[in-house]
Every structure is written in structure tokens, then in C-alpha cells.
Amino acid sequence: MIRLEKRPQPSRAFSLATPLLAVLATMVFGGLMFAVLGKDPVTSIITIFWQPLFGEFAFYYRPQLLIKGAPLVLIAIGLSLGFKAGIWNIGAEGQYIMGALFGAGVGLAFYPMESFIVFPMMVLAGAFGGWLWAMIPALLKVKFGTNEILVSLMLVYVAEQFLASMSLGLMKNPEGFGFPGSRNLQQYNSAFNADLIEGSGMHWGVVAALIAVIFAYVLLTKHRLGFAIRVTGEAPRAARFSGVNPTRLVLFCLGASGLLAGLAGLFEVAGPAGQVTIDFNVGYGFTAIIVAFLGRLHPIGILLAGGLMALTYIGGDIAQSQLGLPAAAIQVFQGMLLFFLLAFDLLTNYRLRPGRTEVA
Amino acid sequence: MNEKPLLELSGLTKAYPGVVANDDVSLRIAPGEVHALLGENGAGKSTLVKMIYGLVKPDAGRMQMHGTGFAPAEPRAARAAGVGMVFQHFSLFDALTVAENIALGMEDAPKLRTLSQRIREVSDTYGLPLSPDRVVGDLSAGERQRVEIIRCLLQEPKLLIMDEPTSVLTPQEVEILFKTLRKLSAEGTAILYISHKLEEIRALCDSATILRLGKVVGHCTPSETSARDMAEMMVGTVLKTPTRAGKTPGDVVLSLTGLSAKSPSAFGMPLREISVEVRAGEVLGIGGVAGNGQDELLAALSGETLSAPGMIAFRGRDVSVLGPTPRRAMGILTAPEERLGHAAAPDMSLTENAMLTGAARENLDRGGLLDWSAARSFAERIISTFDVRTPGPGNAARSLSGGNLQKFVIGREVLQRPDLLVVNQPTWGVDASAAAAIRQALLDLAENGAAIIAISQDLDELMEISDRFAALNEGRLSPPRPAQGLTVDEIGMMMGGAHGMEVAHV
Amino acid sequence: MMDLSAINPILFVAGFLVAATPLIFAAIGELVVEKSGVLNLGVEGMMITGAICGFAVAVETGSPLLGFAAAAAGGALLSLLFAFLTQIALANQVASGLALTLFGLGLSALLGQSYVGVKPPRLGDIDFGPLADIPVIGPILFTHDIILYLGIALVAATWAVLKFTRAGLVLRAVGESHDAAHALGYHVKRIRTLAIMFGGACAGVGGAYISLIRVPQWTEGMTAGIGWIALALVVFASWKPWRLLLGAYLFGGITQLQLNLQGAGVAIPVEYLAMSPYLITIIVLVILSADKSAAPASLGRTFHASQ
């Protein structure tokens, strides 16, 4: 039998190694799953992890990496602040949708006026939309003690219905021949979130994600508020004792994560997606939860994890078209990653020792 | 000691990583004997009784019950063999009733109605009034202990283990408990009595085994040995008692006027109409049985719970509605009872824990940006001044032993030059030499003009350091009286006498 | 134009009993899990996994009952992953529950690829003979399949076990204070693992009820948040089985009502009707969140026996 023994303090080495171990284990078990599905595991793994970066068509896929990675990183950075403090916003998907709707709404309202002011207004509106949607669980939590997990999640379904309603109704393209979906913002110069360098995939969302990473890093390591977030997560009573105001912290963490998710939605709808459609959201808000944990709730870690997760999306697409690997297999693959991460995390705080187990 | 022993332990050894909790421990207990197990915190008393109760398996050595091998794999087996244990902590369920709690500790619990009847019978027989239908969370500490004792007695144990039973009782309740224990002993039940309170042991026990650092360092007959001799066997060195100079108290630092507050926790005790003044240079000792409002009082003073305007004044300024940070900045510092998770964040480094309360007064927070190198040197200063044993300030709080962490937590506040320091259980679970150092630090602080409020359940400690003494009972504070010359009886009455003695007789 | 007379009250009531059943199963399972002190946010993932396991086995064997058995097994098996993470690897329960849901959604989509558009075998209603012919009451109460009645029986059984049996007492004790239960010699992790598996099995059956009876067909993500509503329902019920039944009927009623209103062509857009169950869940949560006293004291806390 193996016995668990608590380390006197968390192991720094394992805290860095667990994400890598989790990725390796996921490759092994994911490979097994691919084999069960009748695909060659080695080819599948290479297709997913190598092709997008160094394969024949890497010039096409590399920009995609930024496009997929940016919203994931942006959302995950916001989520990580709350998760660190034990405040669980799992409705980022909804905030992402609302950000997109608010932002696109402002853009469409200005159409067809061309002005440099349109895009900044859209950015503000997008951030506001996400923030507003996250403020609902935040206010309910601080006023009534309502569980933010359930409320933020319920609001995802509500936002999805809003999205459907908007793309079928208010925001429907009047020149769209009756098809659902809004005007394409890519064809509206003042509103288009274009690549900053043509074909690089580097749009404003990528810039925002990088700024968010730096901002979060400084906040968590150097600022009083970041310290308050960390203490609250580690020991809520100690945080109160030290003078942290839990109400303000809830409002800040949920507000910040909503704001960033809203921004991600706006940059997506004004850029790569281009229009408000019923199936505009593709689950970035949920995948970002995996990204946040995989990055160990650390800004730099999240940056790397966002890149890795974007890789599995793009590699998954390639594997889907080249090997016929089902899209759901990639979803399982990503889920596995989170499982292994949580399991290996044990090693950060505990040592495994051979020996008898005590009565447990 | 010619009688055939009920329980005989020989050569019991149990090691944990980095520490040998029990090293070759042997002892014998005869039927009906009241045997004391004496030792400081960390001497290995708990580990030893956990082995007897089947919670921990020994690495080496053997146990015999009635002359045959005894190796309980789990508490169930120990209970079946006639061992009962009354825990110091952690064995009652607040949301369940007395009867349900008792049923959980029995192997073949009868129907709840039958059980309630038997609870009434046993509580009458042994003078332990208790109503089976009450919810445990609403009981006083003394009543909660009765639940545990009755739970054991219902199984008619041959050996009853009691872990620090009097730490939660008023002196009057201690007397009642001792009567019960003597009656049990007369009926042939052996009692293994764990304590570090020497006078109690001298009054109650037939024999004693003394543990130090996991080893048996002596046996004695308590009634024939002086408390001082036992203490020295227990500690291994000659203790020095804190010294203090006589002084006259200065200006009023803190005044509470009708302080009332609801408890933040479900089974907590509300504060009721507390009025008291504390002066500079004075130590106000606050006694009382655990759960009578100690945590709530500390929270109200630290600013964790806010009060209505006009209730708390500091140097004449109303601070009732200020949070912890502004109060700290003014010079009100506090050290809560729970070290891990309240006074300190377990997984964070000592540097970070120094930042936790030191940010304002030590100038570690410069307009929101934190000065970590200054925090580190503050942590180092605490470590060196208070002799905290740790490799360095980068280590996590949870890696420190209880005594060392307590020195760190108290030192952190003392070094910030408080005008008012409120401490709750300053030496709980701390070894004797560290406890003496902490008490001395508190006295020195008062000497230099700070006002000190020391909340504690250790009456000896309070008598040693307090100028005035008051007691919390049901959230009310008795009028303070000069500590010198108070008798045990008077203190007991201030603490509320014996709680709940009338309940079960209605 | 809206036509409320198109809503047949008898069919409506019979319909909401059906709509409530998946919730009843998922919520009563979670109630037991939470009573043991564990918060499993993976209900949605276990439900959807149960939905596809049940659907696939029912289609392959032609037996809906075997399908339900497979759904229970599938849900329980998936919940073992959660039990491993939280009880053995001591991972955070919130994160592990989310992982379970994300994983379950992916896994079910993968397993269900070849079942899209397939019709499952029907589970017949129990024949109550003349009882079914009683006017009004007959068609409402006596025209259902066995699983629906089983759900109600399960609520009653859970109530009785928690209240009157020793096993129930021990379960509550573990959820109340794992340290105290451990000190008395109860196997905290073993008890919690069993509770988690029970919760998984129940969620699985609830999911299969959606794919085999309520809808009945397989589509990806078809549980559409019912697992999350079940979690809210446990809070709504203050951890009391009978209140849970009441709450499930309330939600079932609302779901059924909005569907009927959609059918009746009410002037409110479909999307706003469709979001109503979620909005009402939020409102109910707000109203009831004031009282947390009934929550098990150890809920969500990780247990590891120290020395």
C-alpha cells in the first residue's frame, strides 16, 4: 500500500512539474483512446502537437494559434483571479457572449458611419457587457449569499438564448436574405478587428491578452489586492483577520473576469468570427477553466497553457480532416488533461510513501 | 501493585517522519486504578492513547489486556474490548442530538427511544445531568463533555481514557467530574487520565507515568510527590516564572460600552452588553469556559466584526465601525486563538505571514505596492527576537511546530509596538519554556505602557500575569476584580459555576 | 395568435411529472452525496454520460430497462473518477466536479456519434388496469413508466434511510464532521466514495430518462443544464428529500409550461420562454440562500486523516 504524507510545505519542483506530467499522461492515455477509435496513436499525437507548429502548412496554422489562444488566455486570466480567492465564476461563456453582443450591438448601431471612434466604443461596450453579466452573480452573492457557481452557470444558458434571439431578431442582417445572423463586421472597416500585421493572426485581442498577463502578474506579486486574493484563497479567516474586505474582493474578482471574458467575446465577434450568429460561442469560456488550472492559476503558466490548448484545438481540426478523428475525441482529450492535472497536483502537497495505511 | 494488571503496555514505539512520538513506552494499569499520564504538549501522550484506542498502530512493542494480546485494528475493536475514550476535541457532531451522538459511538446502539431512556438512567446514576433530545451545538463545553462521558459509560468500559478533560470546565464542574470518576474507580473501572495540570493529578490519581519527548522519564505516586518535582520531571529543567514590577496603571486606552454583537458562526455565542475599561500598562485577564464568547470578543476588538457606533472607544475615539486595517494603524493589535488558518495562512511563507498584519505599521505597503524585502526583514526580526525555530522566513507557516508558530504570531504583534494588544489563548498547546517566554513578552509590553487583554482558559496563567481578572459567561463579562487574592471559588462563580446542572432534572 | 385552450390540463400535469423525473433522480443522488459532506459539481457530466450509456445499451439490446441499468453503471463509473480525485488524490472538489462535467460532455459526444437520429425502444407504461380509467386522476397518475414511480420511491427511501437507519445516521455524521467521525472509527473515505457512486448512478438514470423517455432520442449536450438545476434544487430543498420532490415538480411544471406556451404560440418570443427555467432557478436560489443552516457542516472540505 502507498501512504500519503503531507509535506511540511508545498514542493516548488512538483508545482512546476505537474502540468508537464499531466500533459505526458494525457498523451499516453489520449493515444490509447485514439487507438481504441482505430487511429494510429503516434500519428494522431504528432498531428495534434507537431503539425500546427512545424508541419507543412504551419505558416497557415501558426496565426490560428494566436487567434484561438488569445480568447482562452484572456478569459483564463480573469478566471484565475477568482479561482485563487475561492470565487468560482464558471459562467465565462455567458459573459463572453454578452461582451460580443454589447460590442457588436454598438458597432451595428453606428453602421455604416466610418470613424476611428467606432472600434474603441465597441471595446468599451464589450468589456461593459461582460462585466455587467458577471455583476449579476457578484451582487447576488454579496447581497444574499447566493452561490455564484450556480448563478453564473445558469446565466450561460440565458445568454445563449439572448444570442439566439439577437441573431434571429434585433441584430439580424436586413440584407441577409432572411438568414439568421448579423451583418459581417469584417466588411465594416471602422468596426473590424483586423490583424495588426496582415496574416499574422495578431489582432487586438492578442495584444489585450498579453497586457492582461502582465497586469495579472504584477497584481499578484506586487500589489496589496493580489496579496488579498491569494490570502483569501489560502485561508479566508486569516484574510478577514488581516483586513481584507470579502465583499469588495468578490465584486473585483467576478467583475474583472467578466470584463476580460466580455473583451474576448468582442474581439472574436469583431474579428475572426465577424458576425453574431446562433452558434457564435464555441465553448472558450469552459475550455478557459482548463487553461486556468493547467497554468496553475499563474499568469505565465496560463499564457503557456492557453497556447497548448489552442494547439489541441487546431491539431484536433487537422486530425479531424486528415485522420477522421472525431471532434468529440479532442474534447475528451482536453477533459483528460484537467483530470490528470488535478490528480498529479497531489504530489505538490503530499509525498507518497510505501507503507501501511492508517485507519482512514 | 501486586494486582493483576488490566492493561499492560510494553516497549511501544511509534515514529513519524522526523519525530519519534513514542519510544519504548511501558506502563501497567490495574482495575479501578486512576492512572495519570503526564507530559508537556508534544511529549507523546496523544499518540500513546490513540494506539490504545486503535486509531494509530504501533511500529513496535505490544499491548496486553487481562493478560492476553491486545492489538485493536480500529476504535471499534478497542471499544469492544472495553476501552472508552473521552476526546479533548473533534468527536461530537454539532447538528445532531445528544442521543444521536451517543448512538454513533456505540457498536450495537438500541432504538433511539430506548437509548434516550438509558441516557437518562446513566446521567442520574453518575450525577451528570443531560437531556438526550437537545442539539449538541447548543450545549456548553461542560455539557458536551458529559455527552462524551455518558457515551463511554453506556458501554460499561473497563478502561476509560480521558484526554485533558478539565480544560473546558469551571472549577465547580471539575469537582463534579472528579466525583463521577471516583465513583467509577470504586466500581472497578480503570481510568487513564491525561493532563498537565499537576494539582488535579495530585487530587485525583493513584499513580502517574511521566512522558518527555516520547520516552517514559519516571513513575510516581502523585499524592506523595510535590507538584514542583513532577513539573521538573515533565519539563526536564528548572522553570523560571515570569517577573513583573509593580506599577500604577495609566490613562484609559480602551473602553467598551454595552458591547453587544451577534456571533458570525451558527453555533457561536453572541456578546451581551459588555462594558469595561482597560488602562495603559495594565493586563486584564479574561477567563471563562471555551465557547462563552472568547472568539467573538476578539473578533469585535480586532475589527473582523463591526459593532454599532459608540460601543468601542480607543483613546477616546469611537472605533466601532472601523475594520482591522485602520484599527491596526491606530495601534490596536490582536492575536487570535486559532493559529493555522486564522492568525496565519498555513501554506504561505513566514514573510507573507509577516505581511499579513504588519503591512500598515511596518510600512510594508507603499500606496498599494508591497515591499517584500522589508517584509522579509520584518519576519527575520520576529524569528530572531522570539527565538522561532525555523530554517528561514521562506518556510511555510504550517511547517512550524505549534509552539514556534505561536511565538511567531505573538512576536509579530508585539514587535509592532501595540498600544492595545488582545491575545486569545496565548500559550495554548505550547511547551512550558515557550509559554514562559510568551508570558514574559506580554508583561514586558505592559511594562512599557501598552494595555493588554489576555483571554485564556488557563486560570493559572491568568493569575500569573493579570492585574485584574474578569470572566466571560454566556457572552457576558463579569465586573473585573483585582487578580491578587482571588480564590478559586470566587473565580468559579464568576465563570458561571456549574453549567446546566438543572437541565435533566426537570 | 395565442391559444391557451390548446393546453390540455391533464396532459400538462402528466407531462410535468415526466419533466420532473430526471431532476428527481439527479437531485436525490446529489443530496445523498452532499449529506456525506461532498460537493460534486459533475452532475451534468454524469447525467449526459448516463444518457448516452442508457441510450446505446437500450438500442443495442432492445431493452430500455437494461438501458437504465447501464446508465446507472455508467454514471457510477464516471463518478468513481471524481471519487478518486477528491478522496484519494485530495483534489479540490469544485475543480474536480467541473472536470467531471467537461469530461462527461466530451465522452458522451464521442460515444454517441453513431446514435444520432436513431429511435430508441420504448419503455411501456405500467398497466394499472381500471385505475387508469378514473377520470382526470387516472391519466395523470396511472399512465407512466416504472422509472417515474421508482424516482418517487427513491425519494421516500432516501428520506427513510437518512432519518431512521443507522446507515443514514452515519452518513449524516460524516457530512457533519469528518474529523469526529474518523475519531470514532468510521471510514470517512469509504463512506463518501459509496455516496459519490450512488449519486453517479442516480444522475446516470436521470440522464437516461431524458434520452430514452422524455425526448426520446440522442443529441449532443441534450441535458442542457438539468444537472446544474439539480444542484440548485438540493439547495432549494435545504437538503430535505420531500422538499426536493416538491421543488422538482415546481421546475418540471415551469419547464412543461414554457414548452406548452411555445406550442400555443404565445406572443413572447421562444428564446425568452426557453430561458425562463434558468431565470427562475436563479430567483429561487436568491430567495432561499438566506438560510444555509441546513447545509452539512463539512460540505466541500477535503478530509485527510492526520497523525
DSSP labels, B403-419: HHHHHHHHHHHHTT--S
Q: Is B295 helix (H, G, I), strand (E, B) or coil?
A: helix
Closest Cβ–Cβ partner in C102, C104, C232 for A290: C102
Judgement on whether residues B206 and B279 belong to the same structural domain of the protein: no
Q: DSSP letter at C267?
A: S
Judgement on whether residues B56 and B98 belong to the same structural domain of the protein: yes
Diameter of chain B by CA atoms?
Answer: 75
Is the model's pLDDT at B171 over the cut of 50?
yes
A-to-C residue pairs, Cβ atoms closer than 8 angstroms: 145
Kindly report the nearest CA distance between residue C103 and chain A, in angstroms: 4
Burial A133-158 (b: 16+ CB within 10 A, else e): bbbbbbebbbeeebbbbbbbbbbbbb
A242: left (phi over 0), alpha (psi -120 to 50) or beta: alpha
Residue A134 covered by a domain: yes
Kindly report the nearest CA distance between residue A5 and chain B, in angstroms: 9
Dig out the grid coordinates for A252 from the structure.
Answer: 473585483
**What's the pLDDT tens digit per position in B303-361?**
999 999 999 999 999 999 999 999 999 999 999 998 889 999 998 999 999 999 999 89
Question: Which residues in chain B have their CB less than 8 angstroms from residue C307's CB?
Answer: 16, 21, 47, 56
Between A217 and B125, the higher pLDDT residue: A217
Scan residues 348-387 of B and list those with Cβ closer than 8 Å to A: 348, 352, 355-357, 359, 365, 368-370
**What's the pLDDT tens digit per position in A313-360?**
999 889 888 888 888 888 898 889 888 998 888 888 888 777 654 433
Strand partners, B422: B334, B453
Question: CB B348 to CB A230 under 8 A?
Answer: yes
Q: pLDDT-derived band of residue A135, with 50, 70 and 90 as boundaries?
A: very high
Scan residues 33-62 of A and list those with Cβ closer than 8 Å to C: none
Q: DSSP letter at B130?
A: -
Q: Which residue type, as a one-letter code, is found at position A83?
A: F
Kindly report the nearest CA distance between residue A102 and chain B, in angstroms: 33
CB A87 within 8 A of CB A142: no
- Residues C218, C54: Cα–Cα separation, whole Å: 10
Is the model's pLDDT at B240 over the cut of 80?
no
Nearest CA in chain C to A152: C282
Closest Cβ–Cβ partner in B76, B87, B266 for C183: B87
Question: CB B90 to CB C176 under 8 A?
Answer: no
Strand partners, B370: B365
> Mean pLDDT over residues B445-452, rounded?
93
Question: Which residues in chain B have their CB less than 8 angstroms from residue C176's CB?
Answer: 93-96
Among the candidates B235, B267, B287, a domain finishes at: B235
Count of Cβ atoms closer than 10 Å to residue B73 Cβ? 11
Between B166 and B369, the higher pLDDT residue: B369
Report chain C's mean pLDDT, rounded to a whole number.
Answer: 88
Q: What is the pLDDT of residue B18?
A: 67
Question: Which residues in chain C have their CB less than 8 angstroms from residue B135's CB?
Answer: none
Cβ–Cβ contact C180 with B under 8 A: yes
- Residues A316, A44: Cα–Cα separation, whole Å: 9
Judgement on whether residues B367 and B487 belong to the same structural domain of the protein: yes
Closest Cβ–Cβ partner in C90, C110, C269 for A332: C110
Kindly report the nearest CA distance between residue C95 and chain A, in angstroms: 8
Cβ–Cβ contact A151 with C under 8 A: yes
Q: Which of C84, B342, B391, B380 is nearest to A9 (CA)?
A: B391
Residue C127 CB partners (closer than 8 Å, separation 6+):
none
Q: Which of B138, B49, B51, B33 is nearest to B87 (CA)?
A: B49
**What's the pLDDT tens digit per position in A25-81?**
999 999 999 899 888 889 888 888 888 888 888 888 888 899 999 999 999 999 999
Residue A120 covered by a domain: yes
Kindly report the nearest CA distance between residue B371 and chain A, in angstroms: 8
Q: DSSP letter at B137?
A: G
For residue B451, which phi and psi values (nearest 5 degrees)?
A: -95, 135
Judgement on whether residues B179 and B269 belong to the same structural domain of the protein: no
- Residues B128, B172: Cα–Cα separation, whole Å: 13
Question: CB C272 to CB A150 under 8 A?
Answer: no
Q: DSSP letter at B187?
A: T
Q: Domain boundaries in chain C? A: 4-288
Strand partners, B348: none
- Residues B63, B44: Cα–Cα separation, whole Å: 17
Kindly report the nearest CA distance between residue A164 and chain C, in angstroms: 7
The helix (run of H) or strand (run of E) holding residue B98 is helix B98-104
Residue among B22, B97, B104, B401 with most chain C CBs within 10 A, to mutate: B104
CB B490 within 8 A of CB B459: no
CB B475 within 8 A of CB B271: yes
Strand partners, B476: B473
Question: Which residues in chain B have their CB less than 8 angstroms from residue C180's CB?
Answer: 90-93
> Mean pLDDT over residues C237-255, rounded?
89
CATH class name, domain C4-288? mainly alpha
Question: Which residues in chain C have their CB less than 8 angstroms from residue A346's CB?
Answer: 89-91
Residue A274 covered by a domain: yes
Diameter of chain A by CA atoms?
Answer: 75
Chains that touch A (3 or more CB pairs under 8 A): B, C
Distance set, CA B443 to CA B254, B356, B423, B429, B466 (Å): 18, 25, 13, 20, 9
- Residues A349, C52: Cα–Cα separation, whole Å: 37
Residue C172 CB partners (closer than 8 Å, separation 6+):
B93, B95, B96, C35, C162, C296
> Mean pLDDT over residues A91-95, rounded?
95
Question: CB B346 to CB A235 under 8 A?
Answer: yes
| Side-by-side strand order, sheet with B312-314 | B271-279, B252-261, B312-314, B317-318
Dig out the grid coordinates for B467 from the structure.
Answer: 492585574
Count of Cβ atoms closer than 10 Å to residue A214 Cβ? 13
Residue A111 covered by a domain: yes
- Residues B431, B408: Cα–Cα separation, whole Å: 14
Q: Determine the straight-line distance between the first and last CA of chain C, rounded to whole angstroms.
A: 71
Residue A254 covered by a domain: yes
Residue B270 CB partners (closer than 8 Å, separation 6+):
B260, B261, B262, B263, B293, B296, B475
Judgement on whether residues B122 and B63 belong to the same structural domain of the protein: yes
Residue among A4, A133, A146 with most chain C CBs within 10 A, to mutate: A146
Among the candidates B235, B261, B282, a domain finishes at: B235
CB C278 within 8 A of CB C256: no
Cβ–Cβ contact A336 with C under 8 A: yes
Residue A81 covered by a domain: yes
Q: Is B159 helix (H, G, I), strand (E, B) or coil?
A: strand
- Residues B428, B164: Cα–Cα separation, whole Å: 12
- Residues B452, B467: Cα–Cα separation, whole Å: 10
Q: Is B19 helix (H, G, I), strand (E, B) or coil?
A: strand
- Residues A204, A195: Cα–Cα separation, whole Å: 8
B-to-C residue pairs, Cβ atoms closer than 8 angstroms: 54
Cβ–Cβ contact A223 with B under 8 A: yes
Cβ–Cβ contact A171 with C under 8 A: no
Q: What is the pLDDT of residue A1?
A: 59
- Residues C179, C173: Cα–Cα separation, whole Å: 10
> Mean pLDDT over residues C24-40, rounded?
95
- Residues A172, C166: Cα–Cα separation, whole Å: 61
Judgement on whether residues B207 and B61 belong to the same structural domain of the protein: yes
Residue B75 covered by a domain: yes
Is the model's pLDDT at A140 over the cut of 80?
yes
What is the domain-level CATH number for residue B185?
3.40.50.300
Residue A120 CB partners (closer than 8 Å, separation 6+):
none
Cβ–Cβ contact A241 with B under 8 A: yes
Closest Cβ–Cβ partner in A227, A237, A242 for B357: A242
> Mean pLDDT over residues B382-395, rounded?
90
User: Cα torsion for B424, B429, B434, B440, to the nearest 10°?
Assistant: 30
Q: Is A347 helix (H, G, I), strand (E, B) or coil?
A: helix
Is the model's pLDDT at A106 over the cut of 80?
yes
Among the candidates B180, B200, B235, a domain finishes at: B235
Residue B52 CB partners (closer than 8 Å, separation 6+):
B7, B9, B63, B72, B78, B83, B159, B161, B192
Domain that holds residue B444: 252-494
Count of Cβ atoms closer than 10 Å to residue A178 Cβ? 6
Domain that holds residue A143: 71-301
Residue A132 covered by a domain: yes
Q: Which of A341, B89, B31, B116 is nearest to C98 (CA)?
A: A341
- Count CA within 13 A, CB hemisphere, residue B122: 23
Cβ–Cβ contact A346 with B under 8 A: no
CB A89 within 8 A of CB A153: no
- Concatenating the DSSP letter of every residue in A90-158 gives --HHHHHHHHHHHHHHHHHHHTT---TTHHHHHHHHHHHHHHHHHHHHHHHHHHH---HHHHHHHHHHH
Q: How many domains does chain A have?
A: 1
Q: Which residue type, as a one-letter code, is found at position B148?
A: E
Closest Cβ–Cβ partner in A326, A339, A360 for C99: A339
Q: Is A192 helix (H, G, I), strand (E, B) or coil?
A: coil
Judgement on whether residues B146 and B99 belong to the same structural domain of the protein: yes
Q: How many domains does chain B have?
A: 2
**What's the pLDDT tens digit per position in B246-293?**
667 889 999 999 999 888 777 788 999 999 999 999 999 998 887 889
Report chain B's mean pLDDT, rounded to a whole number.
Answer: 87
Question: CB A342 to CB C89 under 8 A?
Answer: yes
Cβ–Cβ contact A235 with B under 8 A: yes
Question: CB C184 to CB B91 under 8 A?
Answer: yes
Asked, as a colleague might, if the bond just before C121 is cis with ω within 30 of 0, I would say: no
CB C67 within 8 A of CB C120: yes
- Residues B239, B231: Cα–Cα separation, whole Å: 9
Question: Which residues in chain A have their CB less than 8 angstroms from residue B56's CB?
Answer: 358
Cβ–Cβ contact B54 with A under 8 A: yes
Residue A279 covered by a domain: yes
Chains that touch C (3 or more CB pairs under 8 A): A, B
In chain A, the percentage of residues whose pLDDT exceeds 70 is 98
The residue whose grid cell reads 432519518 is C163
Lowest mean pLDDT among A131-145, A307-321, B97-111, C263-277: C263-277
Cβ–Cβ contact A349 with C under 8 A: yes
Question: Which residues in chain A have their CB less than 8 angstroms from residue B340's CB?
Answer: 235
Closest Cβ–Cβ partner in B74, B75, B324 for A242: B324
